[in-house]
Amino acid sequence: MHRLHLTGLVALALWASACAHASYQGGVYRDAEASYHMGDLGPEWRRVDVDADTDLAFEATSLDAIMQVNATCDPSLDIPLSSLTNHLLIGFTEREGRTEETLPFAEREALFTDVEAKLDGVRRRLRLVVLKKDGCVYDFALVGPPDARFDQARAGFDAWLTGFSTP
C-alpha cells in the first residue's frame, strides 16, 4: 500500500512538472509536447485558464466569446480530421447548419467547420479548425453567440490563426 501511494505521488509530481514547464511568451506556446506560434489578438481578448486539456484560451467578455487551441502529439495516431472535429462537438446538442471545408493551412490541409448548437441549453455558434502536422493534432475553436458579436470575434480568431506556425 505504501509503495502504491509513493508511485502515485511520483506520477503526480511528474505531471505537475510537465504542466509547470508550459509557457506562452511573445506569441509562442511551449510545453513538453508541442511548440507553436500564434498571431496577435486585439485588446478585447484576455487569457484565461480553462482546463488541463487546453493549451491556450482567451475570452472577450464584450463579445461573449472564447477561443482556444490545443496540441496533442502522438505520431502513432492517424484519426481522420472529421472524427477529430466530431470529438470537439461532444456535449453540444441540437446542431444545425454545419458546413465543412478542407482548406490549406500551415502547409497542410485542415478541416474548417462552422456550426450552431446548444451547450447546456444555450445556443452558440462555433468555428472549429483541426490540423494534423508533424505527428501532432492541433485543434482551434471559437465559440460565441449566434449574432453579430460572433462575426466580430471571428475577425480576431482569423487573425490569431493567420499567425499560427510550428518550428
Q: What backbone torsions phi and psi does residue 81 show, to the nearest 5 degrees? A: -60, -35
Q: Answer whether residue 57 is part of any domain.
A: yes
- CA dist., res. 151 & res. 141, Å (int): 14
Go through 17-54 and write b for each residue having 16 or more CB atoms within 10 A of its CB, e for each that does not.
Answer: eeeeeeeeeeeebbbeebebebeebeeebeeeeeeeee
Residue 102, domain CATH: 3.40.1000.10
The predicted pLDDT at position 70 comes to: 95
Number of domains in the chain: 1
pLDDT 10s digits, 102-115:
999 999 999 999 99
Q: Answer whether residue 10 is part of any domain.
A: no
Q: End-to-end CA distance of the chain: give it in Å, rounded.
A: 45
Q: Answer whether residue 148 is part of any domain.
A: yes
Q: Answer whether residue 96 is part of any domain.
A: yes
pLDDT 10s digits, 86-101:
999 999 999 999 999 9
Q: Answer whether residue 45 is part of any domain.
A: yes
Q: Answer whether residue 17 is part of any domain.
A: no
Q: Answer whether residue 108 is part of any domain.
A: yes
The pTM score is 0.85
Band (8; pLDDT cuts 50, 70, 90): very low
Name the residue range of residue 128's domain: 24-162
| Residue 117 host element (H or E) | strand 108-119
pLDDT at position 53 over 80: no
